[in-house]
């Protein structure tokens, strides 16, 4: 097992990884930009190294700085978290080339899944059902129109290097295709320095269902059930739950087994997520994320398994230690992503947190680096906390979520807590009507 792990990330996920390490008796090294000297992940880590100025490209994305920090601190392994360098195959290669262990999959698997066309081709070879669409990148307007006529409108133009819902445009019919094609390419170029796009049939009544998997890199692999992440804004997740209220037992088992079989055939190493759209009883693979996901805690809540601990154990060369029959889904869990943003305009609201009181009690988990007096820097993602509740049933989770959101105080900045309160209240009204409690 490792003695010391460097955490190449910030915020709540850096803390999350630190916690797993401490519970395993592993020392932690935090890295931080000059804007994050006072951050909680820096305060709690055993050691910390400043890796550059505030812009992420100069610090959290600066590979030479991170490798130097690992060398100086004498770390054995590097955990990339999510975002930043977590899906950068070159980084994973450089980490290994410098004699450290990368806590994640092989660079080849990262690269394969980072290109969505290659990912879809691979998924097809692995026997996973795909969304109908272009077999490769589309190069002309004529191709899009021909495809729309063939598979039926509307279609969705997506970036080959996509992520975070960027570079996606819905095309209702031939008349919209030219503008959408040009917009998608411009957005993709700006976000990923790659303007290559492809086309999928637009599934208008879909659910987003994703399967958490673990593989040992030698052909063993299991799944840990699904997460339903259908509640989104601009194709980005807002609230996630497990298990999905939309699946029946047969559908759940079918997609879980398909995903686990794919992991075994790939000889995938570590934690990953296969994402599917679900419509009219059918699943359609869209992508695989070769890293820990933001919403991993809901899987932890319903399985009782610490996913970061498993990632670390696998990276250290251990066997899976879990078989499919060890995975028992119990109860329900819901996560709200809380952002430092205006809850109506979604304009970021960085600044000083004056008051901070997280909710507590049975079945409540808050993953956040916030504290009273902390100043949220304006340079990074606006997600500042995750509220995860669990309980025996979905209804109990909703009631627990309502009371936890009522308790949550983050003073001094604007947050999306009021947005979550509205969403939950709507669900609760709907349920109350359903069971005849209220008209
Ligand atoms: P990204 O990598 O940018 O997050 P994904 O391919 O994972 O993109 O898709 C993100 C979300 O966009 C999905 O959860 C879904 O809501 C929507 N989406 C993606 N593909 C389609 C599609 N073919 N039809 C309808 N919605 C889609």
Q: Which residue's alpha carbon is nearest to atom 16 within ligand 1?
A: 235
Q: Closest residue (by CA) to atom 21 of ligand 1?
A: 202
The active-site residue out of 16, 207, 252, 291 is 291
- Res. 435: pLDDT tops 70: no
Lining residues, ligand 1, CB within 6 Å: 131, 156, 162-165, 200-203, 206, 208, 232, 235, 275, 277, 286-287
Give the percent of the chain with pLDDT over 90.
Answer: 95
Coil, helix or strand at residue 333: strand
| Residue 305 pLDDT | 98
Q: Is the pLDDT of residue 71 over 90?
A: yes
Rounded Cα distance between 26 and 21, Å, is 5
Q: Is 90 a catalytic residue?
A: no
The domain ranges of the chain are 4-103, 132-201, 207-435
Mean pLDDT of the region 380-408:
97
pLDDT digits (tens, 9 = 90+) for 324-371: 999 999 999 999 999 999 999 999 999 999 999 999 999 999 999 999
Q: Do domains 4-103 and 207-435 have the same CATH topology?
A: no
Could you tell me the distance, in angstroms and rounded to a whole number, from the CA of residue 31 to the centre of ligand 1?
32
Segment 393-413 shows an average pLDDT of 97
Lowest-pLDDT range of 92-106, 182-196, 214-228: 182-196
* pLDDT, tens digit, 9 for 90 and up, residues 257-309: 999 999 999 999 999 999 999 999 999 999 999 999 999 999 999 999 999 99
pLDDT, residue 87, reads: 97
What is the average per-residue pLDDT within 231-251?
Answer: 96
DSSP 52-92: E-SSGGGTTT-HHHHHHHHHHHT-SEEE--SSTTTT-HHHH
**Ligand 1 atom 17 nearest Cα:** 235
State the pLDDT confidence band at 54, using cuts at 50, 70 and 90.
Answer: very high
Listed residue (410, 73, 110) closest to 271, CA to CA: 110
Is the pLDDT at 439 greater than 60? The verdict is no
Q: What is the DSSP letter of 100?
A: P
Q: Do the Cβ atoms of 51 and 59 come closer than 8 Å?
A: yes
* Residue 436 in this model has a pLDDT that exceeds 90: no
Which CATH fold would you assign to the domain 132-201?
A: Dna Ligase; domain 1 (3.30.1490)
Query: 107-127 pLDDT, tens per residue?
Result: 999 999 999 999 999 999 999
Q: CB-based contacts of 257: which residues, under 8 Å, 6+ apart?
A: 223
At 66 the pLDDT is 98
Q: What is the pLDDT of residue 167?
A: 87
HSE, CB side, 13 Å, CA atoms: give it for residue 260: 18
Domain spanning 4-103 has what CATH number? 3.40.50.20
Q: What class, spelled out in words, does domain 207-435 have in CATH?
A: alpha beta
């Amino acid at each position: 097992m490792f003695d010391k792990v460097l955490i190449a990330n910030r915020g709540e996920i850096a803390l999350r990884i630190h916690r797993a390490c401490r519970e395993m008796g592993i020392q932690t090294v935090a890295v931080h930009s000059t804007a994050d000297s006072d951050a909680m992940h820096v305060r709690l880590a055993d050691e910390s190294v400043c890796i550059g100025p505030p812009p992420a490209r100069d610090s959290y994305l600066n590979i030479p700085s991170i490798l130097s920090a690992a060398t100086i601190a004498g770390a054995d392994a590097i955990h990339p978290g999510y975002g930043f360098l977590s899906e950068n195959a070159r980084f994973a290669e450089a980490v290994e080339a410098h004699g450290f262990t990368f806590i994640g999959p092989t660079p080849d698997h990262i690269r394969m899944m980072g290109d969505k066309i290659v990912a879809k081709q691979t998924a097809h070879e692995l026997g996973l059902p795909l969304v109908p669409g272009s077999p490769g990148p589309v190069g002309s307007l004529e191709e899009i129109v021909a495809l729309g006529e063939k598979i039926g409108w509307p279609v969705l133009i997506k970036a080959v290097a996509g992520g975070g819902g960027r570079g996606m445009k819905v095309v209702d019919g031939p008349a919209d295709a030219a503008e959408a094609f040009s917009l998608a390419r411009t957005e993709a170029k700006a976000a990923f320095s790659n303007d290559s796009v492809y086309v999928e049939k637009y599934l208008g009544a879909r659910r987003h269902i994703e399967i958490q998997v673990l593989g040992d890199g030698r052909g063993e692999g299991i799944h840990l059930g699904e997460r339903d992440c259908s509640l989104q804004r601009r194709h980005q997740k807002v609230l996630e739950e497990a298990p999905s209220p939309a699946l029946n037992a047969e559908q759940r088992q079918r997609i879980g087994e398909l995903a686990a079989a794919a992991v075994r055939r790939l000889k995938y190493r570590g934690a990953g997520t296969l994402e599917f759209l679900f419509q009219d009883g059918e699943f359609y693979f869209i992508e695989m994320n070769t890293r820990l996901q933001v919403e991993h805690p809901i899987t932890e809540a319903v399985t009782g398994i610490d996913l970061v601990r498993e990632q670390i154990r696998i990276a250290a060369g251990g066997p899976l230690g879990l078989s499919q029959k060890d995975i028992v889904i119990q109860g329900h869990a819901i996560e709200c992503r809380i952002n430092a943003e205006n809850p109506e305009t979604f304009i970021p609201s960085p600044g000083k947190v004056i008051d901070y009181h997280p909710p507590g009690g049975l079945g409540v988990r808050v993953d956040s680096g916030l504290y009273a007096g902390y100043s949220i820097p304006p340079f990074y993602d606006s997600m500042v906390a995750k509220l995860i509740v669990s309980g025996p049933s979905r209804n109990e989770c909703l009631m627990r979520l309502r009371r936890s959101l009522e308790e949550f105080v983050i003073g001094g900045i604007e947050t999306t807590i009021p947005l979550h309160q509205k969403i939950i209240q709507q669900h609760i009204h709907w349920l109350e009507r359903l069971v005849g409690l209220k008209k």
